[in-house]
Structure 1
Amino acid sequence: MAAVGQGDPRWIVQQREDGKNVNNWHWTETDYTAWVKNRLTELIVNQTFETSVTSVETKSLKMTGEVSVNTRKAKVIFFYELDITIDWKGKISDTEDVKGTIQMPYISEENDDDDFEVRVTVEDEKDNKKSRVKDELRAKIIPFLKQKLPQLLTEMRATGAAKQLLPAKAAAPAKVDIHDKDAVAEIVSKLPEMNIPVSAPAPVPAKTSSKLRTCTLTVKEKFVCGTEDLYASFVDINRVKAYAGGDAQMSAEVGGKFKLFGGYVSGENVQLERPNKIVQKWRIDKWPEGHYSTVTMEFSQKESKVHLTLTQKDVPDSERQNTEAGWVSNYFARMKGVFGFGAAF
């Protein structure tokens, strides 16, 4: 894979004052490597794992390779090839440490998100205690990484696509007044399509079965804004239309119903504690008829960022991945792109 910025100059569109890349029609290429490394560090470093001998902690992360986000004819294409090494450390006694590395030597778009090798090493492996720590850590770290790496890649695609495809006015959120209804309406008219499967009519949902297998998912996200702004972005109709479509319906009252993304998502407000908490009955139209999940969103302000913890109960097992990816791409990434709630690219 060619290094970022080293493609054929006849193919890469140059930034010129006398021309425009209308609707991202020509090939553009953006380096996303730093964003991926920073987010990966947040997800993986400073995590503690217990073994029968001692607890160990992931200490630092090294990443080589590159990630590029490319746009051609309004389509976003991701290329990445990464080699990741994580240092870990623990204490066997007051005077003796145990440490080693965790390596993922090849993560690429060529493979499935959870299809990658994990190697765990320990210094002085001949020591029985240290060898046991390594084996127990390996049993715990692999499932952890198989969950965190797909999460990273899902977020990367969502935020990268939102950044690349948003029109110029929405891509400069600092100039958009989210309290100005006319400005919001202009953004609505230029939004790209949502990441929702619409290639075929949705089948008539089956009735909810008492044997329906469900699960609970938790999503955590950070936004550069205040709790009031983020809270309002989930219940204020003008803000909701700016990322969920001009035909979105939303109520800011308990018992009020909502319909978003052309009816793909619907539900009802159960509990509203402005600006700290929202509880909703929530469903996707292809779920079994009458089946709702319960979504709880809690907002906490920490310095310049709002930390959102979203817990969703009674999600059909078969819909877990699709539902979680939808929150990241259709809600969070689009909010950050339209309102400027995300960190700089």
Structure 2
Amino acid sequence: MRKADAVTADHAQEEAQAWLVRLRSGSMSRAETESFQRWSAEHPQTAALLRDTWNLLRTAAAELADESPAAANDEWLAEARRDKTVRTGRRAFVGFAVAAGASWLALRPPLELWPSLTDLAADYRTGTGEQRSVVLSDRVVVEMNTQTRLDVLPVQAAARGIDLLAGEAEIDAKASTALGDALLRQVTVVAGKGRMQAVTARFNVRRGGGSVCVTCLSGSLALDHPSARLTLRANDQVIYDDRKVEPVARVDPSGFVAWRRGVLVFNGVPLAEVVDEINRYRPGKIILRNPALGQNRMQAQFPITRLDDVIDLLGRLYGARITRLPGNLVLLS
């Protein structure tokens, strides 16, 4: 493909993403609708790919809905009893979508306004602002935070476990009530290059931005990483990436797990990071257009259910200009 043709194709794809945002808002005017029809006629291949990609996403969502267990308490048992071809077929579906040429939109949704195909391929996922519980056994429960994806590890005699693909989860492994049963009920959590194992512990794991943060809330757990092996006890926290493990730090874990109480806590955090965190819980997107504004530090806590009120608060505190657009898009400048 010539360079000029590539630039034209990229521009058409950017326009397609913009149109999808407008279409999903459900508030297009008649003039905008006519403009979209003209654009579709001028770019028939890109418009057709846009429609095909959206249909693929809808099909994937419907297939996963059909797989959902009927009872929440039987979720792990239902997963364990599945035929292995279920997960293989789901991965193959994603591969087919990519091969069909849908990867530019399905794998990288504009502004992350809808689930990507890789999101839909996970065994369990939560959407923006959603939280859910996954029961691994009679004594191991995983609480999933917003925008989290995980797979259930294959069943082993000595362990139950998950692979945290993205997002945040709190794992609660309670003490066994049966004599000699503890060794048969170990929980394993894989996140990136790290593998955590515990018999009795409660710990929080957050994966994003290329790193993993593990906070031990009670009990103890072992972390195995290519560059280190260590044990975490209550109030210990460690951060690692694919290459290294940072030194263990002692922390007050209350702020790190405030989401379990429906609250976001910020202790001297730059506003840019506050906006990023709010975007994990709030549908749509807040876009910070003023880098200087993002350097302001914030000391506050907000209920997760009232994050729209926070936007107005930021305007009053920092004199930011607020522009609200369809699709829950907000510009801060």
Give me the TM-score of the superposition, normalised by structure 1. 0.28
The one of the two structures with greater contact order (alpha-carbon pairs below 8 A, sep at least 6) is 1
> Which has the larger share of helix?
2
Give me the TM-score of the superposition, normalised by structure 2. 0.29
